[in-house]
Structure 1
Amino acid sequence: MRRLSNSAALVDNWFDMLPPHQQATVRALHGAVLDAAPQLIPSVKWGNLAYLDGPAQLLSISTHKTHAQLQAARVLCAMLPPHGPGDEAADHPLARPLKCRYSQPVDEGQVARVVRACMQLRHEHEAPHPEES
């Protein structure tokens, strides 16, 4: 059965509903995400554009007044080691959302780093663990 939330037409309509000054940046951000991981499936969830890898949501794009934001799913962020100021983990690509201002071009390299970090973290935690003897 086809789910409405995964409909390509619904995703296209989500873009069309954005204010005109947001569309170019959000479409560029969307393209950069899919360039980095073409297997991800875009879906509209909770008013945002989400990216699914199988049943798991990895990323989402949310729009704000001055910028669009690419953020990892909370479940992935919870897998990061705890960190404080000056910690190496604070520099992890998923430690904070990636903000893309509407007045500036999207940094495709940074988007690719965030997407790869999401994929790697998800697959590290999915890997089967050796059985204890």
Structure 2
Amino acid sequence: LNCYGRSVAVKPACYVGVTKGAGGWVSAVQDLPGMNGALKRRELHGLRVRVRTGGYFSVFDLSRTMQAIVLGVVILELPAKLVLLFMLLCLGRLSSLYQDAIFRRFSLPSQVASLSARLLSSAS
């Protein structure tokens, strides 16, 4: 037996609430034509019921939870990124040393000067 594509072992719950509204008891009188032209009188009594639907349906799904954890840990490389952020932002003076080691500063004029010096020394 399945309920919303899931096994009944999951045991979904349904909650019903009842509130009293204004004018719940209803009565009416009807005069209807009967046999031989006589009028037939009907007295109707009842309870007015108004139904308001809404709500949500949710079930804890361990498979989707594990999928989200695996996505965060393996595919997005989340632990490595968190360690990198911690190293670069939270270690004070040591963070600036890590920044200098990880992100090498690049200066085009100094690179061109060193390249031309190497070319001149290898040509002679």
Considering Cα pairs closer than 8 Å and 6+ residues apart, tell me whether 1 or 2 has the greater RCO.
Answer: 1
Task: Say yes or no: TM over 0.5.
Answer: no
Q: Which has the larger radius of gyration?
A: 2
- Going by fraction, where is strand more abundant, 1 or 2? 1
TM-score relative to the length of structure 1: 0.20
